[in-house]
Structure 1
Amino acid sequence: MGRPLRVAVVGAGPAGIYTVDALIKSGAEVSVDLFERMPAPFGLIRYGVAPDHPRIKGIVDALHRVLDKPGVRLFGNIDYGGDVKLDELRQFYDAVVFATGAVDDRPLDIPGVDLDGAYGAADFVSWYDGHPDVARTWPLTATSVAVLGAGNVALDVARVLAKSAEEMLVTEIPDNVHSGLAGSAVTDVHVFGRRGPAQAKFTPLELRELDHSPTVEVIVDPEDIEFDEGSIAAIRASKQVDMVVKTLQEWAIRDVGTRPRRLHLHFFHSPAAILGDGGTVTGLRTERTELTGDGSVRGTGVFHDWDVQAVYRAVGYLSSHLADLPFDHVSGTVPHSKGRVLDMDDDLVPGAYVAGWIKRGPIGLIGHTKGCSSETVASLLADAPTLRPATHPDPGAVVRFLNERGIEFTTWQGWKNLDAYERALGAPHGRERIKVVDRTEMIRASYQG
């Protein structure tokens, strides 16, 4: 080709940055530009991980080193599908990798999901993580709350609802989030899993952290500790499952303490309906389930109504349809073969690739994305000799294009400026940083340096 391979990566979260890292480490001569809808990079780490998980946010340090490498540029505050489209990117790049993740809530088909007081977990996470495109306030008037789901997101939502605002003040939460949590009326949070303890998708560390708060009493009903042959096999086969089960067993047999807020973990309860009166949530109806022998469950026909005033659905994330790409609306993914985008006839879409949750669905931990990105990069590099070359591969051409369109974009240096600005906001209060929420303020801080 006589020049570096020009690659655009859409999405500057973990999947996108791991893709960049794999391209650089491949030894191929590459020049990579990252396009990100937010003014700041890091995606899920900044806007999807609970603020009281600083060690997970420590992954930013590793991602930071990737973006610091030569041959990598960041263009933030650019909306793919609005500001730029695929055919426009193809003018400047030989290949485009989409790593846009999943930010929407997977729907739950039960009566009452549209009631006032029934929320998607993703929306609540966006609020407490200071996403600039969501409302600055959140209704926290309920005293008793239900969280549907048995994964780490459900635990994050339950923990943030249950902990005191003062405990969260040591994190990077914005001032509006702290104010909202300080006014919360919550006393009881109920987490419901459809299956049993051995089928819960919590990680052991996430689960144990629930019990670290001096203000939150974690309660497990001994009747919910039940196993069948399939459950026992799962415990024996996985150290992680074994650790989760042992923690839940210990909590089930201990005496209930006197901490002011209570977080109840319920198993074998399948949500049947969100109850309401006058358009507002007044309760949750669940059906008791039972194990079938292989770790699966079935309904028993026994229902229970819970007195709650708000319900949060944490039943999974869903990716959004990207402009100019095929999309499987059931799985929430782009059809592909080892990362190569396929159209609806299973034919290759030339020069288009996917990585991360838009490729494989919102499953696995952040680190699992590395292997996914490596597979996509291997496909891209194998295709490199036959890719249609960009018509304007000069790195300056895309900058001129964005400027001509009047698109106000941020850069990697801009992130460093914003990072310093947020740290300066936190320093007088003894905090590592205070996250900026307003998009205009983020952009302004990015240009200061």
Structure 2
Amino acid sequence: MPHVITQSCCSDGSCVYACPVNCIHPSPDEPGFATAEMLYIDPVACVDCGACVSACPVGAIAPDTRLEPAQLPFIELNAAFYPKREGKLPPTSKLAPVLEAPVVRRRSKAPLTVAIVGSGPAAMYAADELLTQKGVRVNVFEKLPTPYGLARAGVAPDHQHTKRVTTLFDKIAARRGFSFYLNVEVGSDVTHDELLEHHHAVLYAVGSPTDRRLDVDGIGLPGTATATEVVAWYNGHPDFAGLTVDLNTEQVVIIGNGNVALDVARILTMDPDVLSRTDIADHALQALRSSRVREVVIAARRGPAASAFTLPELIGLTSTGDVVLDAADHERVLADLSTETDPLTRNKLEVLSGLGDASAPITRPRIRFAYQLTPRRVLGTDSAQGIQFEVTGTDDVAQISTGLVLTSIGYRGVPIRGLPFDESAAVVPNDGGRVLDPATGAPLPGSYVAGWIKRGPTGFIGTNKSCATETVHNLVADYNDGLLSEPAHTGSALDRFVRGRQPAVIDAAGWKAIDAAETARGGGVRPRAKFSSVAEMLEAAADVPAPPVHRRLLAGLRR
């Protein structure tokens, strides 16, 4: 009974290292790991031990006999990754040893102290790697009152399995030496230089928080937005809770066809009663209940073979919703299939070739893939009324009537106050996570990056693990080599300093109170009912009773 990976996994590699027979690939020591859409379990080599199931932080692995009907395609998908062996078992040698945790050689009785800015996956994986060593302190700063970044506010509400990775992050946050400083904005409430006065190093893991913008006439009209903004809206991000998402239109057009576009299309066409059992924001659920949307068109500039979505996401989409192609796009799929040699792309094309016909009557909200459409301009005067395309590579023009145009063409990092920034790549210039001075090319002492702000918006949640590990190894090496200055203040001074700048700072206890309140609001029917305003979060956090005096004194001494 071999086990099967059943979704776009987080790719943090935990299952690979847990497997006793090396049957999960590509592994972190193989070239294809960084760009893999998912990992695959060899059905011949699998010994059914279940170690991978326990190790997977997002619950993506199950025995092949316990799959839901929608998951059955993953049996063949996992098997197809491996070559035919005529019944012979593959080698079962263990992987090369897991990269050892960096050994901290303390220079004094004081601990190595690191500030991490951001609290998403890259930040939490970096904290985890640092805290493998005794005598290390990690202080995580986050501008929102709630942690975990895109794991909380970017994963679609119907993908609760993926959101399970936050359980791992909770365990990391509970470790000795870890502290949260939530609702504190670095660059506003405190500066980079001030953090360096209290820490040996500052590591930024702030992601790529803005979208690449489409530069065509009409973008910016009411009725236009980005898919990322809509994701934040239906996930209850307080900065986007007030976003106007007008669903009083029969067609929505999404420009771009990556996984985020598929997520948004799926949510906009899903049965609200199904979503009512998820952690979708209440305001979004209410809007979806009154939605008039009958079709979401996912428009791509290139052809089907160049589709940006991953195969697991496509399989998940087609197994749960009504997805169609028009006749011309169906012919494009077949034409690409006849010449394509890459196995993964062929698998995508095979799925696309089986989609329904767009000419059929619309009986329920559906999704339509559309190819070879290059956006020319958004139509309308006071608000979006449609979008005009040119058929890519021709002089032909196509037009779609719509009251809502969303763009989903990628993410972009933003400058960090106090650090250099590469405008063209939209990242902080770095070498292995060490921030570089653009004038000299030398590392800036004490300044580091991890995650998307380091490498650009690539990979999955778990890809940040190896990325953060590299940065932490270099940070510790610099500390051991005496390249990091000692903090000017003792650890106990940090708490007083931050609270003096931001009295509404939220610590781990405050986050636990918010978490418990949201879970209680779910009433046992939903995983949680999120607060979508900072005021609500602060009110929930304020319900935490103050710890006894002796505990506060002990906490101060530990710092």
What TM-score, normalized by structure 1, do the two folds share? 0.91
Mapped to 2, the partners of 1:152 and 1:76 lie a distance apart of 29
> Identity percentage over the alignment?
37
Unaligned runs of 5+ in 2: 1-106, 545-559
- Asked if residue 22 in structure 1 is aligned to residue 119 in structure 2, the reply is no
Secondary structure of the residue that 1:366 maps to in structure 2?
Answer: coil
Query: Where does residue 398 of structure 1 map in the other structure?
Result: 494
In 1, are the aligned partners of 2:250 and 2:293 still within 8 Å (CA)?
A: yes
Structural mapping, 1:157-172, within 5 Å: 157-172=264-279
- Asked if residue 288 in structure 1 is aligned to residue 391 in structure 2, the reply is yes
Query: Where does residue 307 of structure 1 map in the other structure?
Result: 401
Q: Residue by residue, what CA displacement relative to the aligned partner does 1:315-355 show, whole Å, maximum 9, x if unpaired?
A: 01112211111112222211111111112212322110000
User: How many residue pairs are counted as aligned between the two chains?
Assistant: 430
Residue 328 of structure 1, aligned match among 414, 419, 422: 422
Residue 348 of structure 1, aligned match among 439, 443, 446: 443
In the TM superposition, residue 425 of structure 1 has moved relative to its aligned partner by: 0.6
Secondary structure of the residue that 2:291 maps to in structure 1?
Answer: coil
Unaligned runs of 5+ in 1: 290-298
Letter in 2 for 1:401: F
Query: Where does residue 73 of structure 1 map in the other structure?
Result: 179
Letter in 2 for 1:92: H
In the TM superposition, residue 287 of structure 1 has moved relative to its aligned partner by: 2.3
Q: Residue by residue, what CA displacement relative to the aligned partner does 1:150-207 show, whole Å, maximum 9, x if unpaired?
A: 1001111111222232221111122222111112221111001122222212122222
Query: Where does residue 296 of structure 1 map in the other structure?
Result: none
Query: Where does residue 150 of structure 1 map in the other structure?
Result: 257
- Asked if residue 84 in structure 1 is aligned to residue 179 in structure 2, the reply is no
Secondary structure of the residue that 1:154 maps to in structure 2?
Answer: helix
Letter in 2 for 1:412: A
Residue 423 of structure 1, aligned match among 489, 512, 519: 519
Structural mapping, 1:118-129, within 5 Å: 118-129=224-235
Structural mapping, 1:115-264, within 5 Å: 115-136=221-242, 137-213=244-320, 216-221=321-326, 222-227=330-335, 232-233=340-341, 235-236=342-343, 238=344, 241-251=345-355, 256=360, 259-264=363-368
Secondary structure of the residue that 1:399 maps to in structure 2?
Answer: helix
In 2, are the aligned partners of 1:217 and 1:256 still within 8 Å (CA)?
A: no
Letter in 2 for 1:279: D
Query: Where does residue 483 of structure 2 map in the other structure?
Result: 386
Mapped to 1, the partners of 2:124 and 2:366 lie a distance apart of 39
Secondary structure of the residue that 2:522 maps to in structure 1?
Answer: helix
Say which structure is richer in strand.
Answer: 1
In 1, are the aligned partners of 2:116 and 2:202 still within 8 Å (CA)?
A: yes
- Asked if residue 10 in structure 1 is aligned to residue 107 in structure 2, the reply is no
In the TM superposition, residue 71 of structure 1 has moved relative to its aligned partner by: 0.9
Query: Where does residue 92 of structure 2 map in the other structure?
Result: none
Query: Where does residue 431 of structure 2 map in the other structure?
Result: 337
In 2, are the aligned partners of 1:202 and 1:244 still within 8 Å (CA)?
A: no
Query: Where does residue 376 of structure 2 map in the other structure?
Result: 272
Secondary structure of the residue that 1:271 maps to in structure 2?
Answer: strand
In the TM superposition, residue 279 of structure 1 has moved relative to its aligned partner by: 2.9
In the TM superposition, residue 229 of structure 1 has moved relative to its aligned partner by: 9.4
Mapped to 2, the partners of 1:180 and 1:110 lie a distance apart of 28
In 2, are the aligned partners of 1:37 and 1:79 still within 8 Å (CA)?
A: yes
In 1, are the aligned partners of 2:421 and 2:428 still within 8 Å (CA)?
A: yes
Q: Residue by residue, what CA displacement relative to the aligned partner does 1:253-275 show, whole Å, maximum 9, x if unpaired?
A: 79957541121011222222222
Q: Residue by residue, what CA displacement relative to the aligned partner does 1:42-98 show, whole Å, maximum 9, x if unpaired?
A: 100111111111011011112222111111111100011110111100111000000
Letter in 1 for 2:371: F
In the TM superposition, residue 24 of structure 1 has moved relative to its aligned partner by: 2.1
Query: Where does residue 170 of structure 2 map in the other structure?
Result: 64
In the TM superposition, residue 301 of structure 1 has moved relative to its aligned partner by: 2.3
In 2, are the aligned partners of 1:326 and 1:334 still within 8 Å (CA)?
A: yes
Q: Residue by residue, what CA displacement relative to the aligned partner does 1:420-443 show, whole Å, maximum 9, x if unpaired?
A: 111111116x22211111211112
Bigger relative contact order, structure 1 or 2 (CA pairs below 8 A, ≥6 apart)? 1
Larger C-alpha radius of gyration, 1 or 2?
Answer: 2
Letter in 2 for 1:310: L
Query: Where does residue 366 of structure 1 map in the other structure?
Result: 461
Query: Where does residue 292 of structure 1 map in the other structure?
Result: none
Letter in 1 for 2:388: R
Mapped to 1, the partners of 2:526 and 2:241 lie a distance apart of 24
Mapped to 1, the partners of 2:358 and 2:293 lie a distance apart of 24
Q: Larger deviation: 85-94 or 29-38?
A: 29-38
